[in-house]
Amino acid sequence: MGIYLNPDSSKFEEAVNSDIYIDKTGLLTYTNSVLHTMQKYICISRPRRFGKSIAANMLTAYYSRGCDAEQLFSTFEIAQSSEFKKYLNQYNTVSVNMQEFLSRSHNIYELTDRFKRLVIRELKGEYPDVDYFDDTDLIECMQDIYAQTKQAFIVIIDEWDCIFREYKEDKEAQEKYLDFLRDLLKDKAYIHLAYMTGILPIKKYGTHSALNMFDEFSMIDPGPLARYVGFTEEEVRMVCEQYQMDVAEVKNWYDGYSFENGVSIYSPRSVVSCMRFGKIGNYWNQTETFEALRIYIDMNFEGLKDDVLRMIAGQKVPVNIGNFANDMSTFHTEDDVLTLLIHLGYVSYDYDNKTVKIPNEEVRTEYVNSVSASDWGEVSKSLKDSADTLEAIWQNRPMQVAEAVRQAHFETSHIQYNDENALSYTISLALYAARNFYTIHREFAGGKGFADLVFLPRKKFPDKPALVVELKWDKSAEGAIAQIKKKEYCRSLEEYQGNLLLVGIAYDKKTKKHTCKIEKWNLNEC
């Protein structure tokens, strides 16, 4: 038993012994199915704190010859498999966190040299009687061990992509690292499984395709492994019941990463923190600060600012992921930035419609923090002042609301301010703070049509009035209120009787002025 070669199961035991552990051992059923096949190369990429390391430690505990993990896994899903014991603790397992080597190295040469020397030392300790051709060459050592003992290797690499995140501009170091991994893993008889995990996918770095033998399971296309890294909706519902937390609130704050076949994934770290501390909150910034996001959204690509603001307002935007170089420095278009944000977890990707959106309120908060701290003019100010704007609606101060909407209105070459949809976008920014108190519905069915925007109070805020907002471009705010009444939008909101506000907001294209009218409405009059 060593540190890197055939480690024990202590790291996985820590996860299992924690307050909340979700059984993800079904992943082992998949890895068992590809052992010693052409599909033995697996790379899973996910954002930070999505359970990547726990999954890597689980694989280590299951395969490592340095463990006796039968009891540890006995109550989990994998124990029901007919092949559970066939592969249990049967492999020479090299398990490393590449960030550890990077932190103790000054360059890529030191990193690869340290990796080789430390693993070789443990190989020679484990197999002192092997006749080594060259005991200073890691690949030769592994080949000799396999040839003379027929004991194959599983290689597990966590934080595989740290080089590309920390040596962003050093293409030579990146290619040296890729060559090292290729030489270690590709077409080697001693490798029965290679499992890598990180934030970035690995397909292409210019013309260099050293690791093209890997199957990739990313935030763009997680395939059959979607449910094994991240929490599913069913799993979150279970822990919410255990900790007596509101499922709808947790979903609103931490869900939003939706994949094919209806699989919906939550951010595990955020869900666990929410349960442990007993409150909904922003736990994302404990892992990724808004300054990191700000770097990307402040990039001066045409259309990027507009699309970020669209997403803050709750809209989806199209994206072309095809040209992304899978690094953190090569950006040619807005699409490259948005694709990186997919992998970082700052936007979620709709595979079928080829669009992205902000996944949940937790991440949306990070965008607002970033925009508010950026030099985005009136937009930044309107986001900061949105709480005052909401209060102005509650207190029936229409002129203040109209002025706030004016401040949120910004010039852009991409969004023409010429219809209710554009006005809706601006309103959403001006009333961003409403998300703290309301569930927001667009095109809300009611009466004889669809209301533009309906704000329904969350369970925690029953005292807040429901809001029905109608928008008019080049018409009057009074006309907006009249339409709400005429089409009886409020008929489906009977539970809010006596605590419902009608809000009409209009924009006059000639005067370029916004107006607002607010009325308290009794449903009996509808």
Hunting for tokens 């939008």 — which residue is that? 489
Hunting for tokens 């004991």 — which residue is that? 151
Task: Please give the angle made by the CA atoms of 395, 396 and 401, to the nearest 5 degrees.
Answer: 100
pLDDT of residue 432: 84
- What's the burial of 170, exposed, middle or buried (CB within 10 Å: 0-12/13-18/19+)? middle
Q: CATH 3.40.50.300 spans which residues of the chain?
A: 10-227
10 Cβ contact list (under 8 Å, min separation 6): none
Is residue 236 a contact partner of residue 250, using CB atoms and an 8 Å limit?
yes
pLDDT of residue 509: 80
pTM: 0.86
Return the number of other C-beta atoms located less than 10 Å from residue 421's C-beta.
Answer: 14
DSSP codes of every residue in 427-468? HHHHTGGGGGTEEEEEEEEETTEEEEEEEEE-TT-TTSPEEE
pLDDT of residue 260: 75
Return the number of other C-beta atoms located less than 10 Å from residue 128's C-beta.
Answer: 8
List, in sequence order, every residue forming a beta bridge with 198; answer none if it has no partner. 45
Sheet holding 317-318, edge to edge: 317-318, 355-357, 348-350
Hunting for tokens 């002129």 — which residue is that? 399
pLDDT of residue 413: 37
What's the token pair of residue 71?
């009891």
CATH no. for 282-374:
1.10.10
Q: CATH 3.40.1350 spans which residues of the chain?
A: 375-526
CATH no. for 375-526:
3.40.1350
Q: Nearest-CA neighbor of 69 among 1, 135, 25, 13?
A: 13
The H or E element that residue 298 is part of is none
300 Cβ contact list (under 8 Å, min separation 6): none
Q: Which residue type, as a one-letter code, is found at position 168?
A: K
The CATH class, in words, for 10-227 is alpha beta
Q: Nearest-CA neighbor of 254 among 278, 236, 277, 235?
A: 236
Helices (H), 50-137: 52-63, 70-73, 84-87, 98-103, 108-126
How much is the CA Rg of the chain, to the nearest whole Å? 27
pLDDT of residue 290: 56
pLDDT per residue rounded down to tens, the chain (526 residues): 689 999 999 999 999 999 999 999 999 999 999 999 999 999 999 998 899 999 999 999 999 999 999 999 999 999 999 999 999 999 999 999 999 999 999 999 999 999 999 999 999 999 999 999 999 999 999 999 999 999 999 999 999 999 988 888 888 999 899 999 999 999 999 999 999 999 999 866 555 567 889 999 999 999 999 999 899 999 999 999 999 999 999 999 999 898 877 788 998 999 999 999 999 988 876 555 556 777 887 787 878 887 888 888 888 999 999 888 888 888 889 999 999 999 999 999 998 899 999 999 999 888 888 877 776 766 677 777 888 999 999 999 999 999 888 877 754 434 455 556 667 777 887 888 888 889 888 888 877 778 888 999 988 888 999 999 988 887 889 999 998 888 888 878 878 878 899 999 998 888 888 999 999 886 555 5
From residue 512, give the alpha-carbon distance in Å to each of 418, 421, 425, 427, 506: 11, 16, 17, 15, 10
Is residue 245 a contact partner of residue 216, using CB atoms and an 8 Å limit?
no
- What's the burial of 94, exposed, middle or buried (CB within 10 Å: 0-12/13-18/19+)? buried
pLDDT of residue 352: 87
pLDDT of residue 345: 92
